[in-house]
Amino acid sequence: MSSTHLDKSSFTTWIKEEALTAGFLTVGITKVVTLDTETDRLKAWLDKGYNGEMHYMANHFDLRKDPRLLMDGAQSVICLSFNYHPEDDSLSTTAPKIARYAYGRDYHKVVKKKMINLLKGMQVHRPELGGRAFVDSAPVMEREWAKRAGLGWVGKNTLIIHPKKGSYFFLGVIIIDQELDYDTPISDHCGTCTRCIDACPTEAIAQEGYELNASQCISYATIELKAEKLPADFDEKMEGWAFGCDICQEVCPWNKFSTPHTEADFHPSDKLKAMTSESWAVMTQDDFDSIFFGTPVKRTGYEGMKRNIEAAGND
């Protein structure tokens, strides 16, 4: 059969099978709609100042609300997750700790390339198809679309949780200008569990869950905050984390279903694995540039990392 003869259901099936073959963990598809409720919730969150210094989150509300302003004729949102759970967890057991997602190469580049290849494959089947791929790189509410597409529910820790895959995964979306068969959301399975709320050392998660004060989050403090010194609120609460934080995922019961990823680009380098507490303490700018070249950790910069290491060791 010629690839251009695939009907809507067959094309939908092909996309999902191709995504899984390409290494994505899960895939779901939902219809483009206006995210009125979701953007209203975001505005209320911003009004509380929970974004801290992440002022960019207040920008482009119209684009966040309606993907059709990002791409003419947008009809479907293909939501994808990509596993980053490492087989070797040792970097997150001894201080200074690095969030698991940052062990290897910058996920923006790795996942975006795979998504663009998937989009190109779709255009082989349908040359007239228009689409754009986004990985945490534009005013797109990936989490809300993932929820609508059935990739998981939004947990009390505000992360997407899949009942069979856990939560150690990146999210990306491909917006296309054609209709597909659509998936449905899945129900919330957090129940009465409060482990993430109880375990957060800075009490960044609301007592009832489902809302995060990012300005109180260790991940925010170690990555987004550009101050020379971390606020006193974080004194003796870092629990060894120097870049990001995985505590609310480590305690989540659903992550017992997480399995090791198979993406070579996400493995930590030998240089990183060889770091000792002594070598962290005497790390130079050249060391930092060499060890973290091409990784998410570069984002915090050498001075920021030195600040974080000092704070992580002062618990």
- Which residues does the annotation mark as catalytic? 136
| 241-243 vs 97-98, strand pairing mode | parallel
Instruction: For residue 297, give Cα distances in angstroms to 120, 134, 224, 238.
Output: 30, 21, 11, 17
C-alpha span between 79 and 30 (Å, rounded): 8
Phi/psi for 69 (5° steps) reads -85, -20
- Give me 202's structure tokens: 């800075």
Most distant CA pair in the chain, distance: 65
C-alpha span between 255 and 67 (Å, rounded): 31
- Give me 299's structure tokens: 């984002």
Residue holding tokens 């606020």? 231
CB contact at 8 A, 59 and 139: yes
